Homo-oligomer: A and B are copies of this chain.
Amino acid sequence: MIRLAVALVHYPVLDRAGETVTTAITNLDLHDMARSARTYGASGLYVVHPIAAQRLLADRIYEHWVHGSGKKRIPDRAEAIELLRVAPSLDDVYASLGGRDAIAIWTTAASARRHVTTYAEGRSLLAKSDRTVLLMFGTGWGLAKSVLDDADVRLEPIRAREDAGYNHLSVRAACAITLDRLLG
Taking beta carbons and an 8 Å cutoff, which residues of A are in contact with B? 28, 31-32, 35-36, 38-41, 76-77, 79-80, 158, 160-161, 163-164, 166-170, 172-177, 179-181, 183-184
Contacts and interface: CB of A to CB of B under 8 A. Distances in A.
Q: Chain A: interface secondary structure?
A: helix
Q: Which of A32, A41, A173 has the most CB of B within 10 A?
A: A173
Contacts of A39: 158, 160, 164, 166-169
Given A36-B173, A173-B173, A180 B160 contact: yes
A3 to B, nearest CB: 14
15 contacts: A31-B170, A32-B170, A38-B166, A38-B168, A39-B166, A39-B168, A41-B160, A41-B163, A160-B180, A161-B184, A172-B176, A173-B173, A176-B177, A177-B177, A180-B180
